[in-house]
Structure 1
Amino acid sequence: MRILYIGDGNPFSTSFHRLSALRRLGYTVDVRNPYEAFKTSLEHFIFGKIHYRTGFRFLQNKVNSWLSEILAGGENFDIIWVDSGELFGKKCLQNLKTVGIPVILYNVDDPTGKRDGNRFKSLLEALPLYDLVVVVRQESERECIKLGAARVLWVYRSYDEEAHRPYRNVEEIPAQFRSDVAFIGTWIRYEKRDEFLLKLIELGVPVSIWGTRWQNSPNWHKLKPHHRGDGLGGRDYVAAIQGAKVCIGMLSKGNRDLHTQRSLEVPFAGGLFCAERTSEHEEMYREGVEAVFWSDAVECARVCKELLANDSLRENIRLAGMERVRSLKVGNEDACRTILETVFQTT
């Protein structure tokens, strides 16, 4: 099978992991990256913001012409896989549908939510034209159906079987990625992640932070001594997870998260997952056995201290979490198989 994959080809992006999984499964994947093709417009100081806030409305003619050039190339594909889809409105999908093969949308954001304003306006207008829409939130599933999507599949987010594989020998993990309690993630305005981590620090939890934009936090002067570096990718990301005794996972409330990418990646990569208590986290893992949960910073601090003081308990939970996440079959290869099987059952 030959797949036309339209999405971000950045080696550190989650979409890159998905297309890599498709190739590992034996499919021929041709990648076309719209974010590279329209990089000048999308990253322009003024026009980039305008495009984002108008749902990329003023890019539609150019994007549609770009798609026409791809389709006119004379190459034969069996399926079109659109990752994110924010740049493609109704006319773009009508164009893609002229080829007469299934078109999939895979979106890990919250396209039907309110956090990002009109960012997904063009995508939402195009929803009814996709043969299958894949989302990672149950709310998104229901809302996409109401907006006219022909078929919607809800899936958990995924770890990647290759990119996130743990080190066989923990002694191989570089010293700079070892820590007691780690948080790997970006500072996000209004999410109060900085306040949460500062509270842990004030309660005596030895927190290490990796990620970008933390300098924008009003609490940066207090968090700076705990900041170990910017965003991590590749084996460094795995090393920081596996090299921590406890890994904190935070949700994006603006995105209506009940689980995140970290919810799967941390246990798979050999970390002990410590995250907010949600219905989906409780469906994934047995609390206190395969992962640990909390409702606020005070409870999180107490749980972290208990784990740091008990090596055997910590190791038992970590190993049980690794086993559990593999049993869930939520790797990228698993997800890709399910998606392709589903779309060909419905077309």
Structure 2
Amino acid sequence: MKLLIAGSAAPWALEHHYIKHLAPLGVTLEVFDVASFVNYTILDRALIRLGNNSPYRCANECLLNKVEAFQPDVVWIFKGVEFQAETLKQIKSRGAKLVNYNPDHPFIRTSVSHGGKNVETCVPLYDLHFCYSRDLTNKIENEFGIPTTWLPFGFELEEPVFEKISKAEEILRIAFVGNPDKTRARIIRQLAAAGLPVNVYGHHWQRFLGKHQNINIFDAVYGDDFWQKIRQYRVQLNIFRPHNVGSHNMRTFEIPAAGGIMLAPDSPEHRAFFSHGEEAFFYRSEEEIERYCRDLLAREDVGEIREKARRRSLESGYDYLERAELFLKEIQKLRKP
């Protein structure tokens, strides 16, 4: 099977995990790096907000050229913010099947890179959708009549890296690893105001938090540093974006896989993935966050929690190799008459 992935080629992008695993599974794969054909200048962002697709013209033209040259059986588009309906129709007219996976949400837009007119308009044009959310999976399948498969997020943590990070000394503080928004900043400020120590890692936190004696702000972390930070702290806080409410996010699997102690929003999917109070902890309100944090910072049996979280992640097949195998199984059905 020949597969063209249209998305990001960045090493930290979700696409990277599938690129890594699909080739050894027998897929002939090439990547169309959308970022190479779109410049998100201030002017471009303004035009996009006004519904002007001109900043995306080059990406659409070049994707069609890539399809013509590579002749893929399947084109897998991540998100699809940049691609217009006419482009997708032309791809289908050339015999390729169209597949979409949106790690944000097709109908909820919180930034230029999330949702938008192109994404919504193109939903009916795909032959198959993958969704991280069960509710969204059902919505697309029921409302659009398109085959839709639940494909949760996962983790990619090699054993030598885990062995390395597991030896790091624990830091008896709360940590949040991710970028800010108003809700996340409010929760962090509330914890700090209650006297709880918090370290945050990500871009532009200074704009949201300012200075506080109980808050330390650090730059974003990647690679081995990322895994060490989500393992090392006593409490690893997980706060949903609006489009993840009721479902899960990437940290859902990354934190437990590293043996981190995750405090995350309560949701049906979280309850299905991990045992509350044993492998992870789930809060139903912002008031509960403080209570759980105080309890976890005072506990002595955290080694057992870490071990159970790690074991569940491995034994339940939450890694991206398993996700890639599921993806391949589903797209192979597209080729059958």
Shift in CA distance, 306/165, structure 1 to aligned 2, threshold 3 Å:
farther
**Structure 1 pair 70–179 and aligned structure 2 pair: CA distance change class (3 A):** farther
Whether the 8 Å CA contact 1:115–1:255 is kept in 2: the answer is no
Corresponding residue of 1:249: 238
One-letter amino acid matched to 1:242: R
CA–CA separation in structure 1 for the residues paired with 2:160 and 2:194: 33
Larger deviation, residues 142-151 vs 194-203: 142-151
CA contact (8 A) 2:97 2:334 kept: no
Match of 2:220 in 1: 231
Q: Which residue of 2 aligns with 1:10?
A: 10
- Mapped to 2, the partners of 1:140 and 1:58 lie a distance apart of 30
Task: Give unmatched runs, 5+ long, in structure 2.
Answer: none
Which letter does structure 1 place at the counterpart of 2:288?
E
The equivalent of 1:292 in structure 2 is: 281
Question: 1:165-244 alignment to 2 at 5 Å?
Answer: 166-170=161-165, 173=168, 178=171, 180-189=173-182, 192-217=183-208, 219-222=209-212, 226-244=215-233
144 and 58 in structure 1: CA distance in 2 versus 1, 3 angstrom threshold: farther
- Give the AA of the match of 1:308: L
- Tell me which amino acid in the other structure corresponds to 1:200: L
CA distance in 2: counterparts of 1:78 and 1:346, whole angstroms: 9
Instruction: Write out aligned runs for 1:49-60 (5 A).
Output: 49-54=46-51, 57-59=53-55
Is the CA contact (8 Å cut-off) linking 2:259 and 2:310 kept in structure 1?
A: yes
- Describe how 1:110-189 pairs up with structure 2 within 5 A: 110-113=105-108, 115=110, 119-146=115-142, 148=144, 150-162=146-158, 166-170=161-165, 173=168, 178=171, 180-189=173-182
**Residue in structure 2 matching 1:302, options 284, 291, 304:** 291
Where do residues 19-30 of structure 1 align in structure 2 (5 Å cutoff)?
Answer: 19-30=19-30
Name structure 1 gaps, 5 residues minimum.
none
Shift of 1:230: 1.5
What's the CA shift string for 1:245-290, capped at 9, x where partnerless?
A: 2211111135535311101110012211111222221121111111
Q: Tell me which moved more, 268-277 or 107-116.
A: 107-116
Structure 2 Cα separation of the partners of residues 212 and 116 of structure 1 = 15
TM-aligned CA deviation for residue 172 of structure 1: 5.2
SS in 2 for 1:168: helix
Equivalence for 2:41 = 44
Q: Distance in 2 between matches of 1:95 and 1:332?
A: 31
Q: Shift in Å at residue 244 of structure 1?
A: 1.3
- 1:228 Cα deviation from its structure 2 partner: 3.8
Structure 1: distance between partners of 2:166 and 2:240: 31
What secondary structure is seen at the aligned counterpart in 1 of 2:311?
A: helix
Q: SS at the partner of 2:256?
A: helix
Contact residue 251 and residue 257 of structure 1 kept, 8 A: no
Could you tell me which of 81, 86, 89 is aligned with 1:91? 86
Deviates more, 1:318-327 or 1:138-147: 138-147
Find 2:266's aligned residue among 273, 277, 283. Answer: 277
Change (3 A) 1:254 1:105: closer
Question: 1:81 and 1:116, CA in 2 relative to 1: closer, same or farther beyond 3 A?
Answer: same
Superposed CA RMSD: 2.6
Distance 1:209 1:10, change over 3 A: same
Structure 2 CA distance for partners of 1:4 and 1:165, relative to 1, 3 Å: farther
Equivalent runs, 1:68-79 vs 2, <5 Å = 68-73=64-69, 75-79=70-74
Q: Counterpart amino acid of 1:195?
A: R
Shift of 1:341: 0.9
TM-score normalised by L of structure 1: 0.86
